[in-house]
């Protein structure tokens, strides 16, 4: 492989690595917030899931994806994955409160 191509490839990959690290940190911050939500819901016997909020969030994220030139279906899948994990955490918090 040409040295110039290798250098450009390494530069792009370094950017990808930095973005991946930022995503992990952002997800960690997001989950800190959702844990607080889960504890609050558990303390007040609120349901772990909020389908209306989830639907609003999906609509909002799909719009943001379109604005960012990202496939909205991918953005929705990504958010659904996160929502499923958050609900799992909220269910665990509710069990811990009732135990």
**32/38 Cα distance (integer angstroms):** 10
Residue 6 confidence (pLDDT) above 80: yes
Helices (H), 1-99: 3-43, 51-67, 72-98
Give the start-to-end residue ranges of the domains of the chain: 3-98
pTM exceeds 0.85 for this model: no
Output the pLDDT for position 99: 58
Q: How confident is the model at residue 95 (pLDDT cuts 50, 70, 90)?
A: confident
The class (CATH top level) of 3-98 is mainly alpha
Both structure tokens of 76: 């929705």
pLDDT digits 0-9 by tens, 46-71: 999 999 999 999 999 999 999 999 99
> How far are the Cα atoms of 3, 13, 68 from residue 6, in angstroms, in the given order?
5, 10, 29
Q: Is 90 exposed, middle or buried (0-12, 13-18, 19+ CB in 10 A)?
A: buried
């Amino acid at each position: 492989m040409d040295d110039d191509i290798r250098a450009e490839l390494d530069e792009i990959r370094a950017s990808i690595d930095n973005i991946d690290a930022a995503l992990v940190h952002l997800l960690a911050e997001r989950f800190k917030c959702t844990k607080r939500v889960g504890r609050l819901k558990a303390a007040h016997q609120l349901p772990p899931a909020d389908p209306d909020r989830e639907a609003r969030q999906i609509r909002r994220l799909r719009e943001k994806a379109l604005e960012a030139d990202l496939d909205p279906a991918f953005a929705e899948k990504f958010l659904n994955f996160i929502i499923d994990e958050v609900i799992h955490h909220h269910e665990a918090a509710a069990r811990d409160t009732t135990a």
